Amino acid sequence: MPANRAVIYRGPGHVEVESIDYPTFELKDGPGVNPANVGRQLGHAAILKVVATNICGSDQHMVRGRTTAPEGLALGHEITGEVVEVGPGVEFIQVGDLVSVPFNIACGRCRNCKEGKTGVCLNVNPDRPGSAYGYVDMGGWVGGQAEYVLTPYADWNLLKFPDRDRAMEKILDLAMLADIFPTGFHGCVTAGVGPGKSVYIAGAGPVGLAAATSAFLLGASVVMVADLQKERLDQARSFGCETIDVSMGDPKEQIAQVLSGEPEVDCAVDAVGFEARGHGADAQTERPATVLNAVMDVTRAGGAVGIPGLYVTGDPGAGDEAAKVGSLSIRLGLGWAKSLSFTTGQCPVMRYNNYLMEAILHDRAPIARNVNATVIPLDRAPEGYTEFDHGAARKYVIDPHGMLGSAMS
């Protein structure tokens, strides 16, 4: 049985690469595993040799100590891999397949899955609807920032790439299908982005840049990306985005400069989430409701707001008691008065990933270039976490087996 190593959360600001058990077709006890999930038999699962696994901003929330994640949790929910073993209940996925793994773990059997709401599957997490690999309060499924990982309900969850050689030529782009590309796309779709529309995207991290890529793919006329960090704004500008520096204050004045005097956009996307900082003089101060209120303010009446940015029900590091349980000072009256539509929650990855795969394979979506995908070996994962936390304008892709070849940088 091969050895297995993974990125392990060891407390606020601290991750290590450590040896863990090789996956088996049974969910065992461990850090974060819900007791009701212990002993679950997984004949429907596949074991993957991890080809690429990415560091996500959602992982950083845990590593910063802003969630109730337990020490010892194996991290990682953005996984691309090669199937090396399948359980007796797997019918269509085969050993040797190269696959993308949606970060949502879904059974394919419950009411929500049958309605396409795979982000809130009812059967994989005893705590609440919805699950993911290597994430706090998501049932305890072992994370994929590892050499090998188990993926349940393989026939349902895994997206097989149709041609291995062609896929490996685009592997950095395809690695974004596990989460950020569908998530950014979902933010834009739910915000109503379409041909000729103007779009404001709050946040120039990887999800924000993926949303900007998606907005262009959907036909937007102008895509504005807002952030506090120059390096991230430069990255957004590198592929045609207009940029809004919110450290300078309220974004409306800058939006008006882009839109010939019009201070409001057709569509807005919140790609920041609950660790938002203020604008202008408050740019160095955490203000968790700032972005939600800003996107309502800058969206025209009758418009829509997509909210793929993460908001939590438990934030022990919040600055006030209300925010610790996810209660924020949101200007709901403003949203109501403007008849805005809102969509929140996990992206249902399977709703989009096959189409986005085809867009990548047919050279319509250079997502790896746009998010500045940067390959690092597994041993450098702690360094990647630190650099990302300091605001590096990169999407770190971990290469556990050295399979990414010339993509290494």
pTM reported for the whole predicted model: 0.96
- Are 134 and 105 members of one domain? yes
Residue of 407 and 202 predicted with greater confidence? 202
- The secondary structure of residue 380, as a DSSP letter, is G
- Are 135 and 250 members of one domain? no
What is residue 278's predicted lDDT score, i.e. its pLDDT? 87
Pick the last residue of a domain from 344, 372, 388.
344
- The secondary structure of residue 26, as a DSSP letter, is B
50-87 pLDDT, tens per residue? 999 999 999 999 999 999 899 999 999 999 999 999 99
Q: How far apart are CA 110 and CA 295, in angstroms?
A: 34
- Are 227 and 147 members of one domain? no
Q: What is the CATH number of the domain that holds 288?
A: 3.40.50.720
Helix axes 206-217 and 230-237, enclosed angle (nearest 10): 20
- Are 23 and 145 members of one domain? yes
Pick the last residue of a domain from 307, 328, 344.
344
Pick the last residue of a domain from 344, 366, 394.
344
- Are 339 and 360 members of one domain? no
Whole-Å CA distances, 358 to 90, 190, 233, 361: 25, 21, 28, 5
- Are 331 and 357 members of one domain? no
Average pLDDT estimate for 329-337: 95
Q: Which domain holds residue 372?
A: 5-179+348-407
Query: Among residues 5, 148, 143, 144, which one has the least CA distance to residue 85?
Result: 148
Helix (H, G, I), strand (E, B) or coil at 381: helix
HSE value, Cβ hemisphere, 13 Å, CA-based, for 167: 21
Average pLDDT estimate for 17-26: 97
Query: How many structural domains comprise the chain?
Result: 2
Within 128-287, strands assigned E span: 148-151, 159-160, 198-202, 222-227, 242-245, 265-270
Q: Which two tokens stand for residue 62?
A: 């845990």
Q: Which two tokens stand for residue 95?
A: 């050993």
What is residue 257's predicted lDDT score, i.e. its pLDDT? 97
Q: How far apart are CA 99 and CA 407, in angstroms?
A: 18
Whole-Å CA distances, 255 to 48, 239, 330: 46, 18, 22
Helices and strands per DSSP (H, E), number in the chain: 15, 15
Q: DSSP states of 188-234 as a string?
A: HHHTT--TT-EEEEE--SHHHHHHHHHHHHTT-SEEEEEES-HHHHH
- Are 136 and 206 members of one domain? no
- Are 360 and 306 members of one domain? no
Backbone φ and ψ for 198, nearest 5 degrees, come out as: -95, 140
- Are 172 and 287 members of one domain? no
Backbone φ and ψ for 101, nearest 5 degrees, come out as: -110, 110
Least confident of 20-34, 127-141, 256-270, 277-291: 277-291
Q: Compute the residue count for the chain.
A: 409
Average pLDDT estimate for 105-116: 98
- Are 163 and 42 members of one domain? yes
Q: What is the CATH number of the domain that holds 144?
A: 3.90.180.10
Q: DSSP states of 61-120 as a string?
A: HHHTT-S-PPTTPBP---EEEEEEEE-TT--S--TT-EEEE-SB---S-SHHHHTT-GGG
216-244 pLDDT, tens per residue? 999 999 999 999 999 999 999 999 999 99
- Are 19 and 158 members of one domain? yes
Q: How far apart are CA 147 and CA 260, in angstroms?
A: 52
What is residue 312's predicted lDDT score, i.e. its pLDDT? 86
Q: Which two tokens stand for residue 383?
A: 């360094």
Residues 199 and 191: beta-carbon distance below 8 Å: yes
**Would the pLDDT of 358 be above 80?**
yes
Q: How far apart are CA 120 and CA 108, in angstroms?
A: 11
Q: How far apart are CA 271 and CA 57, in angstroms?
A: 10
- Are 218 and 303 members of one domain? yes
Categorize the per-residue pLDDT at 318 as very low, low, confident or very high, splitting at 50, 70 and 90: confident
201-218 pLDDT, tens per residue? 999 999 999 999 999 999
Helix axes 353-361 and 180-190, enclosed angle (nearest 10): 110
Core vs surface per residue 290-328: b (16+ CB within 10 A) or e: bbbbbbbbbbbeebbbbbbbbbbeebeebeeeebeeeeb
Percent of the chain residues past pLDDT 90, beyond the cut: 89
31-57 pLDDT, tens per residue? 999 999 999 999 999 999 999 999 999
Pairing of strands 46-54, 79-86: antiparallel
% helix, strand, coil for the chain, step of 5: 30, 20, 45
- pLDDT averaged over the chain? 95
Categorize the per-residue pLDDT at 313 as very low, low, confident or very high, splitting at 50, 70 and 90: confident
Query: Among residues 29, 388, 359, 387, which one has the least CA distance to residue 170?
Result: 359
